[in-house]
Amino acid sequence: MLVVHASMRAVGPVAGGAAGLLDALRAAIGPPGTLVMPAMTGTCRPEPFDARRSPSRGMGVLAEALRRAPGALRSPHPTSSFAALGPQAAAITAAQPLTPPHGTDSPIGRVHGLDGRILLLGVGHERDTTLHLAELLAGVPYAVTRWAVVAGLDGPRRVDFAENDHCCRNFALADAWLREAGVQREGRVGTAAARLVTSRDLVRVVVPRLRAAPLRFLCPPGAGCGRCDEARAAAVAAGG
């Protein structure tokens, strides 16, 4: 069970391009393995979400190659879907609650429950969605309102939901914590720096730090980060 966040540009030239790297990842985990990648479309967009047709946005060419791969399945969350390919794909991409998008009953939460691993190829932990799961397990006090448009029997409709959302730049703090704990393996794939950690190790290391300082992933007040200011205001409103 492997969740991959990747930058093809950082990896450099690969025979076969994104399809070639996808084949290499599938060969590495073998037939029993399930490959999982984000297929998110983003929040507050007027286009109705269609799990079969809506392209991912900002997830990179490798993630989009997995979404389009024969046999791949996609979870139905209207903003925060994941694609999966392998024996556990149906279980990983099954329907989930609208909120929170990355809770225990979500693709990323199910990977955690199955003791899966996280591979970062050419990106840092600021792209690591499992840290949103860690935030929820730690009980961080910020939840901001987001919306999406979904298809319905009576036509498209807007749905609002709460999400522990912010700029995620300070997710990079997890790098030092995981190295200190000795649970993150690092190396090179092509020209990209690669990080490998189990989901359970990540959560085990990060959650106590967030419980001690629940706002540590947010940019400080006055830093000019609108998304973190929004999350901080939500925390204040919630009494956090």
Position 107 scores a pLDDT of 98
Tens digit of each residue's pLDDT (9 = 90 or more) over 179-221? 999 999 999 999 999 999 999 999 999 999 999 999 999 999 9
Query: Quick one: pLDDT band at residue 47, thresholds 50, 70, 90?
Result: confident
Position 105 scores a pLDDT of 98
Give pairs for 227-233: CB < 8 Å, separation 24+.
227/165, 227/166, 227/167, 228/166, 228/167, 230/144, 230/166, 231/142, 231/144, 231/164, 231/165, 231/166, 232/142
Tens digit of each residue's pLDDT (9 = 90 or more) over 52-92? 899 999 999 999 999 999 999 999 999 999 999 999 999 99
Tens digit of each residue's pLDDT (9 = 90 or more) over 81-135? 999 999 999 999 999 999 999 999 999 999 999 999 999 999 999 999 999 999 9
Tens digit of each residue's pLDDT (9 = 90 or more) over 14-36? 999 999 999 999 999 999 999 99
The percent helix, strand, coil of the chain (3-state, each to 5) is 35, 20, 45
Contact 7, 60 (CB under 8 A): yes
